[in-house]
Amino acid sequence: MKWFLLALLALSALICGCSSGDVNNDDDHSAPADDDTHAVDDDAAGDDDTLNPDWYRTATFMQIFLRSFYDSNGDGIGDLRGLIVKLPYLAELGIGAIWLNPIYPSPFFDSGYDVADYEAINPDYGTLDDFRELLDRAHELGIRIVMDGVFNHSSWENPWFVESRSSRDNPKHDWYVWGDEPLFDCHDPLEPEFGQDRWTFDETVGQYYYHFFREQMPDLNYENADLREAVKNVVRFWFDLGVDGFRLDAAHLYYQDAEYCWNHPKTHAFLKELRQVADEYGDRVFVGEVAGAPEKVIEYLGDGRDELQAIINFNLTYGFYASYFLHTPWPIETMMDLTYERFPPGGTHAVYQSNHDFYRMFGLLLGDDDWAKMTSVVQLTLPGIAFVYYGEEVGMTNGHEVVVDYRDAARTPMHWDASPTAGFTTREPWIALAPNHATHNVAVEDGDPHSLLNHYRRVIAIRNARPVLAEGSYTPVVADSNHVFADLRQSADDSLLVVINFSAKPQEATLDLSPTSWGGRVGTPRDLYSGAELPHLDAFSAAAYPVSLPAYGFVILELVGD
């Protein structure tokens, strides 16, 4: 129950001392204007005026665990051609980019995060030609493809490691972290699934190799310049094929030693070098999976333009857990203050509720559709890049079968219809389906205007039509109910007020809009979601503007007529 421990940790961090500090509502997180200091390589694609280097900032991403998305050849395993078949579904949902969990050859000790060949496709999923076709078809539909870059470690079957462990004299021996004895201790008590012993003795070379994760996943040695160059060339290999970016796995762990277990200064230096590789192409993105205290993870954004373009904001996800179970927005507000509000100009974050490492949020919300609709509005109206986890949009719950480890609960096949295999495959799926596939699936929900799927379509359409939601400034608005969350989103030419009831009971609240840009305005707030109009707003009502919301209700308001 790691999520529970993490939520508790997040809560205790909030309770014991992280003061909410100064809220700087003027912080501008919009993309930095290009000027002479912006390092885009002269002779590379960066000169192409048709490139849009900021595409990722407003795209709604879907994270796809390919093995479980759609099986096109009846072997029970999702594959690239299956994803190609389902691209129109994603386009209709409003998805602008896909993050694919690892699709490389792998012995699967860690579900693909043990990469056996960095420049090939796992035959279970198809071929490099299938991948090329995926890129073409996705790009035609305006969908970008982001891969998982697993560069902290490889599989022990990766030829790099096979050579490294063949002899101390091998030129690649030093590409991994070896010691005549264990050199430092960096185990993570919150990740018991990876074991506690991080050094394994190798008989052939008579040394120990270091693995932060499983023994089948040796850590790469970033002290070695050839290794650093080899990693950059892997990135170039995929960029040259047309890949739009990487989610960088465990990027806070690249360098470890007796002084630093994570967040090593040299890791930042290397990520800055890697950023230059993205800049050679002009429109490629790195989203970092980095973990730690808010002030540490913010450092991965560098000065806003010289390190990672975006970080996954785990702290905010823990804020979601705490807020949803306490039925109050203050953990989210506090986490926004400790993270997003302090980002350097131009830096942004990926916001998600569920992913392949946690239990699915819908299961934690006890399969309550209304509760899930409310939480999705939180995610999809906060600033940053929204990452929807495949199946979240139809309300997939957690599975029960374990093939690799407990995290398989969130990696079960996509629910396409109500048939016994959920329309995922014509044969036996590689892992048992989640229990609610007969009720929560695309075919059933497609025809129901009130379904979770149609709700997601509607909210994503609003998000895509109003970029102020992804990019505008964020100003929390004071409400006189502990259950009500309100924030004003503002850009140069647009503004929206989002109001959400975190409680299972209806709420009557008043909002103090007077310190915000809506304080001096006159008009009728209109809900983009339902079309409903709210009471007139003017100078008299702004300080105590009344809002009435049903259980888990929400409105996304524009101001009409001033």
One residue of 18, 135, 143, 150 binding ligand GLC per CB under 6 A: 150
Contact pattern for ligand GLC over residues 189 through 218, marking x by CB under 6 A? ------------------------x-----
Task: Compute the CA torsion angle 554, 516, 467, 93 (nearest 10 deg).
Answer: 0
List alpha helices for 419-518, DSSP H. Answer: 442-446, 452-465, 468-471
Give the pair of three-digit tokens for residue 286. Answer: 């790195």
Pick between residue 249 and residue 341 the one whose CB is nearest to ligand GLC.
249
Residue among 124, 130, 249, 307 flagged as catalytic:
249
DSSP state of 209: E
Position 502 contacts ligand GLC (CB under 6 A): no
Pick between residue 391 and residue 525 the one whose CB is nearest to ligand GLC.
391
Pick between residue 157 and residue 357 the one whose CB is nearest to ligand GLC.
357
Contact pattern for ligand GLC over residues 54 through 93, marking x by CB under 6 A? ----------------------------------------
Residue 415: name the closest of 424, 427, 405 by CA: 424
Contact pattern for ligand GLC over residues 274 through 293, marking x by CB under 6 A? ---------------x----
Contact pattern for ligand GLC over residues 424 through 443, marking x by CB under 6 A? --------------------
| Residues 6+ positions from 493 with CB-CB distance below 8 Å | none
Closest contact distance (angstroms) between CB of 122 and ligand GLC is 15
Closest contact distance (angstroms) between CB of 262 and ligand GLC is 12
Pick between residue 101 and residue 475 the one whose CB is nearest to ligand GLC.
101
Pick between residue 292 and residue 304 the one whose CB is nearest to ligand GLC.
292
Closest contact distance (angstroms) between CB of 228 and ligand GLC is 19
Position 388 contacts ligand GLC (CB under 6 A): no
DSSP string, 326-386: HT-SHHHHHHHHHTGGGSPTT-EEEEES--TTS--HHHHTTT-HHHHHHHHHHHHHSSSEE
Is 408 a residue of the active site?
no
Closest contact distance (angstroms) between CB of 113 and ligand GLC is 3
Give the pair of three-digit tokens for residue 516. Answer: 């915000």
Pairing of strands 144-149, 97-100: parallel
- The one-letter amino acid at 388: V
Residue 205: name the closest of 230, 236, 188, 180 by CA: 180
Pick between residue 71 and residue 110 the one whose CB is nearest to ligand GLC.
110
Closest contact distance (angstroms) between CB of 331 and ligand GLC is 23
| Residues 6+ positions from 175 with CB-CB distance below 8 Å | 160, 161, 163, 164, 220, 221, 224, 226, 227, 230
C-alpha to C-alpha distance for 496 and 525, rounded to whole angstroms: 9
DSSP string, 21-68: ----TT---SPPPP-TTS---TTSGGG-TT--TTGGGTPPEEEE-GGG
Closest contact distance (angstroms) between CB of 153 and ligand GLC is 7
C-alpha to C-alpha distance for 494 and 472, rounded to whole angstroms: 8
Is 36 a residue of the active site?
no
Of 240-259, which residues contact ligand GLC (CB under 6 A)?
Answer: 249-250
Closest contact distance (angstroms) between CB of 150 and ligand GLC is 6
Of 105-134, which residues contact ligand GLC (CB under 6 A)?
Answer: 110, 113
Helix (H) or strand (E) holding 110: none
Pick between residue 95 and residue 150 the one whose CB is nearest to ligand GLC.
150
Residue among 79, 289, 341, 392 flagged as catalytic:
289
Closest contact distance (angstroms) between CB of 176 and ligand GLC is 15
Position 357 contacts ligand GLC (CB under 6 A): yes
Pick between residue 9 and residue 465 the one whose CB is nearest to ligand GLC.
9
C-alpha to C-alpha distance for 44 and 33, rounded to whole angstroms: 19
Residue of minimal Cβ distance to ligand GLC? 113
Contact at 8 Å (CB) between 333 and 326? no
When computed from its CA atoms, the radius of gyration of the chain, rounded to whole angstroms, is 24
Residues that bind ligand GLC (CB under 6 A): 110, 113, 150, 213, 249-250, 289, 356-357
Residues catalogued as catalytic: 249, 289
